[in-house]
Amino acid sequence: FSPAEKVWIVGGLQKVPVSREALIASSNLTFTERSVSTAWLTPGRDLGAVVDARLEMLRFRVGAFNGGGDLLGDDNPGKLFAARIEANFGDERTYQTYGTVDDLTVGVGVDGWANSGRSVTSSGVGADLIVRFDGFALLLEGRRNRLEPKEDLVVAPGTLAETDRQGVFAQLGYTVGSFEPAVRYSILDDDTNTEDAGDAGELLGGVTWHSDKDQVRAGLGYVSRLENNRNAVPNDTLRAWFQLKL
């Protein structure tokens, strides 16, 4: 509901207001899936409430959630809190990459979150940028997380020591007619103190075709896996995707 003209309160199972790429609707993703850094370093969906306020070029979102990601209940007494602020310059959309724009449009966002789980306290910060000009769309994002195991463990933690994780990605695409060729480079370091198989990345290049009203998308791309592991086996993939919006 809306207690004021430019302030909304949204409750239920929803996306935690963190990361521009995570907040982009799946129907608007360039490659129909998110980067490896976003997939591993953002909370995703959770049950809670978000206050969403807009003032001129600024947008503020603050949310409180159960922290377990479950629609049917709460599995621990801790809570997840998140906040995001972003500034938009220009009149075009900043949560999609497809299409041409008449004027330069820029969106900048920063956010942070903290979650007290049953065995691990986790927190993270991030910043993102989108630039759209003519048919070009540039999307950049960087994130850093920290995991801290609790002393009074209830269940086995996912980490036994304080662990810092970080990741970045950059994506550049161009809309020409009904086609959107794009390339994305993303990396993930799941422990900044260790060089191992957890240091992984990917380079994805492809092209997506859009129907007139963008109700149908079909694309083809190639994923090159960049893994820091002497025993890694070749696992590059050729992908095809199809999306129908009803």
User: How many CA within 13 A on the CB side of residue 72?
Assistant: 0
User: Measured between alpha carbons, how far is 86 from 200 in angstroms, rounded to an integer?
Assistant: 29
Q: Which residues are CB-contacts of 218 (< 8 A; sequence separation ≥ 6)? A: 208, 209, 240, 241, 242, 243
| Phi (first) and psi of residue 89, to 5 degrees | -125, 115
pLDDT at 219: 97
Q: 74 - beta bridge partners?
A: none
**Please, which residues bridge with residue 105 across strands?**
132
Structure tokens at 9: 């309160």
Query: pTM here?
Result: 0.89
CA distance 53 to 50: 10
Helix (H, G, I), strand (E, B) or coil at 131: strand
pLDDT at 40: 92
- pLDDT at residue 67 in the model: 84
Q: Please give the Cα distance from 202 to 115 (Å, whole number).
A: 28
| Residues 241 and 32 sit within 8 Å (Cβ to Cβ) | yes
What is the per-residue pLDDT for 70?
A: 75
Give Cβ neighbours of residue 159 (< 8 Å, ≥ 6 apart): 120, 147, 149
In order along its 246 residues, the chain shows pLDDT tens digits of 666 679 999 999 999 999 999 999 999 999 989 999 999 999 989 999 999 999 989 999 999 999 877 777 777 778 999 999 999 999 999 999 999 999 999 999 999 999 987 788 899 999 999 999 999 999 999 999 999 888 766 666 667 788 999 999 999 999 999 999 999 999 999 888 877 666 788 999 999 999 999 999 999 999 998 877 666 778 899 999 999 988
Output the pLDDT for position 190: 86
| Torsion of the alpha carbons at 176, 36, 194 and 158, rounded to the nearest 10 | 170
Report d(CA 48, CA 199) in Å as an integer: 33
Give the H or E element holding residue 9.
strand 7-15
- Tokens standing for 204? 């994805």
Instruction: Report d(CA 184, CA 143) in Å as an integer.
Output: 16
